[in-house]
Structure formats: structure tokens, C-alpha cells
């Protein structure tokens, strides 16, 4: 197996653009790649541009009538069919949307293939992580569900156990739905509580069905949760599940919208805690996945200058085994690029100046504490179904 990680990147992914008034500004992808290059990380990984996912790959998750509807809207945005979630406020249609959405999906699928075949240990696609897309509709800024497609491709290649861990501030509903009854896939999502945030799902009681009963785990965090609570919840749930499930591949989604500056949600997580969870996912892949097989994806993130590029540059550094020192001063060349593109001043350092710490669940919990109640609800709902103690 190559020691070098793969970074999936094609400049054309920045064509995933819902328009000027939409929060998912593709400048976040361009600025992330710019920051990766500014730190020389593009020389620490193999940068690979994969081809777009073809029809047969898209069909692993998506319905043929939906793919046809995306193609039609892509060719003529005026024909977008709202019955498929297309041409809506969240998912406006734009020319070429099928092509660029397939291209992003293709990067995640190729990342999964490379990891499965042992061509690399870790592969990153920060343009992916579009976890809300459903088999038959667009949702939540997502057209094709690249995490689900990557997992489905792993299953097609013969994988019997794939774990998906989603730490985006929003529930990973589309991935959960795709494998709801499939015992080969364990989906774990930590997110802001559905009572206060889109997509209003991800309750602890959602645990899968049929042969997949117990295959979905949801941690619904109270609005306002900060570093200590977020890290406590992650460590109270994820390592134990992975230690038991022993996935052949770990797929993680690192939406940066948990950050306290994010305009669309209400958690209060710092860049430093995001980095700590990325490092923990990397460690967990080495500890529990076959030969450290890890596919790491991006996701949401709407503080497009201040947060997203720094967050995912840390992700690339961790996967490359060349982590960026949080105290690093950001190269002025990148800050010039930020100003030229956005007329905003970019951040100066790779840290929010926090040193996150958390209390281990094993030391006990407080039944009156809202965070602990959330963790307990998840453990009580899902752990016994997996034969684990609450
Ligand atoms: Zn999100
Ligand atoms: Zn590693």
C-alpha cells in the first residue's frame, strides 16, 4: 500500500454553484485548495482527478427517474421538476448541474476504490460529503449523495462492513436512508438536535430497520454545544461502536458547519475541536479499520472564508501524515487570494486559539446535564441493539 494519501481534486468541482444568493459558495472549495497549496500539502499527497460517476454508479443509490430529472434540469434549468426537489430555494437548478454533481460523486467513488484496492491508505475529497441527497430527490444543497455512492461502491466491490461517521452539524439523513435496512453499513451521525435544525431528523430513536436494525446511530446535540460537549459526545459513542463493528473501511464526513461562526446552525465548536475530531477519526481508522482504510469527505460549511478552508486544510494534513501546526501563520499569498476573490480579510492563523479538552464518559455522567442526556438517549436507543452495554 502506498504511504501517500490521495487528495481528489478537479478544478471543475467549483462549478457546483447554486448562484450568488445561495450560501454554498464554491469559493470555499477554491480557497481550501489554495490553502492546501499554500502549505505545500499538495506535494505531500497524490492529487488525483477522477472521472465523473457514470449512470450505473449513480444508480447504486439513486432512482433512474431522479437521475433523468437531474439531467433534464441540467440541460434546461427552466424544466426543473420541484417534485424531485429541483428548482427549489435550497436546490436551484443550474446549467451543467448533472455533470458537476456527477464529477463530485466520481471523486468520492474513486477515493473509495483506491482505498479498497490498497492503492492508498487514506483518500480525501473535501468537495464531497453531500449527505442530504435522497435516492429519489435533491435535498439540502445536495444533488447526488457522494458518501452513499462511495459506500455502495465499496459494497459492490465486496465489502461486508463499512462504517460511516458524520460530524456535520446537520443530520446525515440521506446516507442513513440509503442503508437503513443494510446490516453491512453502520451509520453514525452527530448533529444539532432536529428540533432546532434542518432536516428535522436524526432522533436517537432512528436506529435502522429489518436486517439493518441497530445500524443507524444518532446523537442529537443541544443547540449551543461547544468544544468540550462535542468532543465528549464523540468519544462517548464513536470509538466503542467502531471497536465492536470492526469496519473494513471507515468513511467520515467533516462538514465544517459545527463552527461557532457558521451562519446556518447553532453549535459553538472551534476549529481546534474540529481538528481534534479529524485526528481522532484518523486514529480510529488505524485502530479498527482494515489496514487503516479511511475515506474522508467534506460537507457543509458556510463561513466560507474564515472557517472552511482552514478546517479542511487540517483534514488534508492529517490524512497526509503531515499535520499543519495550529500555531502556523497563514501564508500572505493565500490571504491575498482571499482578498482578491472576496474583498474580505482572511484569517491569520490555523487556530482559533483553543485547547479543547473533554471529560471521558467512563468517568460517569450527570443525568441532569443536557449534553449527557443526549448521549445517554443515543446509547440507550442503539447500543443494546448492537449487543453493547448502555
Ligand atoms: Zn451541514
Ligand atoms: Zn494514517
pLDDT tens for residues 269-279? 999 999 999 99
| C-alpha 208 to ligand 1 mean position (Å) | 21
For 198: left if phi > 0, alpha if psi spans -120 to 50, otherwise beta; the answer is beta
Cell numbers of 174, please? 440521506
SS3 220: strand
Q: Are 178 and 132 in contact (CB under 8 A)?
A: no
Q: C-alpha 379: how far from its chain's center?
A: 22
Mean pLDDT of the chain: 98
| C-alpha 118 to ligand 1 mean position (Å) | 30
Q: Are 107 and 126 in contact (CB under 8 A)?
A: no
Percent of the chain with pLDDT over 90: 99
Q: What's the rounded Cα separation, in Å, for the pair 218 and 190?
A: 6
Exposure string of 81-105, with b = 16+ CB inside 10 Å and e = fewer, is beebbbbeebbbbbeebbebbbbbb
State phi, psi for 46 to the nearest 5 degrees: -90, 115
* DSSP string over 299-340: -----TTTTHHHHHHHHHHHHTT-PPPTTPBPPHHHHHHHHH
Segment 357-378 shows an average pLDDT of 97
Q: What's the rounded Cα separation, in Å, for the pair 237 and 190?
A: 9
| C-alpha 150 to ligand 1 mean position (Å) | 19
Is the pLDDT higher at 212 or at 2? 212
**Cα dihedral angle (311, 162, 322, 233), rounded to 10 degrees?**
50
Known active-site residue 132: yes
> Which ligand is closest in space to the CA of residue 198?
1
Name the DSSP letter for residue 323: P
Segment 14-29 shows an average pLDDT of 98
| C-alpha 116 to ligand 1 mean position (Å) | 27
The predicted-structure confidence for 194-226, as pLDDT tens digits, reads as follows 999 999 999 999 999 999 999 999 999 999 999
Q: pLDDT band at residue 1, thresholds of 50, 70 and 90?
A: low
Give the per-residue pLDDT at 2. Answer: 55
| C-alpha 106 to ligand 1 mean position (Å) | 21
The predicted-structure confidence for 51-89, as pLDDT tens digits, reads as follows 999 999 999 999 999 999 999 999 999 999 999 999 999
Segment 240-248 shows an average pLDDT of 98
Q: What's the rounded Cα separation, in Å, for the pair 322 and 158?
A: 31
The predicted-structure confidence for 219-236, as pLDDT tens digits, reads as follows 999 999 999 999 999 999
> Which ligand is closest in space to the CA of residue 254?
1
Q: What's the rounded Cα separation, in Å, for the pair 317 and 297?
A: 13
Q: What's the rounded Cα separation, in Å, for the pair 359 and 232?
A: 6
Choice among 62, 98, 131, 132 that is catalytic: 132
> Which ligand is closest in space to the CA of residue 278?
2
Q: What's the rounded Cα separation, in Å, for the pair 302 and 6?
A: 25
Cell numbers of 115, please? 482505498
How would you classify the pairing of strands 249-253 and 162-166?
Answer: parallel
Q: Which residues contact 339 (CB under 8 A, 6 or more apart)?
A: 345, 346
What are the C-alpha distances in Å from 357 to residues 227, 279, 360? 8, 14, 10
What are the residues facing 191 on neighbouring strands?
Answer: 220
Q: Are 87 and 103 in contact (CB under 8 A)?
A: no
What percent helix, strand, coil does the chain show, rounded to 5?
40, 10, 45
Cell numbers of 61, please? 443509490
Segment 111-116 shows an average pLDDT of 98
Asked whether residue 244 carries a pLDDT value surpassing 70, the answer given is yes
Give the per-residue pLDDT at 3. Answer: 75
Cell numbers of 8, please? 481528489
pTM beyond 0.85, yes or no: yes
Segment 347-366 shows an average pLDDT of 97
Give the per-residue pLDDT at 368. Answer: 97
Amino acid at each position: 500500500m502506498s504511504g501517500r494519501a490521495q487528495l481528489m481534486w478537479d478544478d471543475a468541482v467549483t462549478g457546483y454553484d447554486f448562484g450568488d444568493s445561495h450560501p454554498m459558495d464554491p469559493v470555499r472549495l477554491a480557497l481550501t485548495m489554495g490553502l492546501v497549496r499554500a502549505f505545500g500539502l499538495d506535494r505531500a499527497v497524490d492529487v488525483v482527478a477522477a472521472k465523473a460517476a457514470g449512470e450505473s454508479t449513480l444508480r447504486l443509490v439513486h432512482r433512474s427517474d431522479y437521475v433523468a430529472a437531474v439531467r433534464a434540469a441540467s440541460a434546461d434549468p427552466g424544466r426543473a421538476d420541484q417534485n424531485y426537489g429541483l428548482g427549489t430555494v435550497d436546490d436551484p437548478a443550474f446549467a451543467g448541474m448533472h455533470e458537476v454533481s456527477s464529477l463530485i460523486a466520481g471523486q468520492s467513488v474513486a477515493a473509495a476504490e483506491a482505498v479498497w484496492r490498497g492503492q492508498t491508505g487514506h483518500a480525501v475529497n473535501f468537495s464531497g460529503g453531500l449527505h442530504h441527497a435522497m435516492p429519489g430527490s435533491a435535498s439540502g444543497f445536495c444533488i447526488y449523495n457522494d458518501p452513499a455512492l462511495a459506500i455502495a461502491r465499496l459494497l459492490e466491490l465486496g465489502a461486508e462492513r463499512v462504517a460511516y461517521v458524520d460530524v456535520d452539524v446537520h443530520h446525515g439523513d440521506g446516507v442513513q436512508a440509503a442503508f437503513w435496512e443494510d446490516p453491512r453499513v453502520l451509520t453514525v451521525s452527530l448533529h444539532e438536535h432536529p428540533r432546532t435544525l434542518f432536516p428535522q431528523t436524526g432522533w436517537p430513536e432512528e436506529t435502522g430497520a429489518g436486517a439493518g436494525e441497530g445500524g443507524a446511530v444518532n446523537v442529537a446535540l443541544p443547540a449551543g454545544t461547544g468544544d468540550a460537549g462535542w468532543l465528549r459526545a464523540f468519544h462517548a459513542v464513536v470509538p466503542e461502536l467502531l471497536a465492536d463493528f470492526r469496519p473494513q473501511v471507515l468513511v467520515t464526513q467533516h462538514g465544517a458547519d459545527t463552527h461557532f461562526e457558521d451562519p446556518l446552525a447553532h453549535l459553538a465548536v472551534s476549529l481546534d475541536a474540529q481538528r481534534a475530531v479529524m485526528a481522532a477519526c484518523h486514529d480510529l481508522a488505524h485502530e479498527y479499520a482494515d489496514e487503516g482504510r479511511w475515506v474522508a469527505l467534506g460537507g457543509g460549511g458556510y463561513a466560507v472564508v474564515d472557517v472552511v478552508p482552514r478546517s479542511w486544510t487540517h483534514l488534508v494534513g492529517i490524512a497526509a501524515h503531515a499535520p499543519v501546526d495550529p500555531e502556523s501563520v497563514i501564508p500572505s499569498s493565500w490571504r491575498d487570494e482571499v482578498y482578491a476573490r472576496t474583498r474580505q480579510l482572511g484569517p491569520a492563523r490555523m487556530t482559533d486559539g483553543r485547547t479543547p479538552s473533554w471529560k471521558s464518559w467512563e468517568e460517569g455522567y450527570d443525568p441532569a446535564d443536557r449534553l449527557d442526556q443526549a448521549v445517554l438517549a443515543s446509547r440507550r436507543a442503539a447500543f443494546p441493539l448492537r449487543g453493547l452495554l448502555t
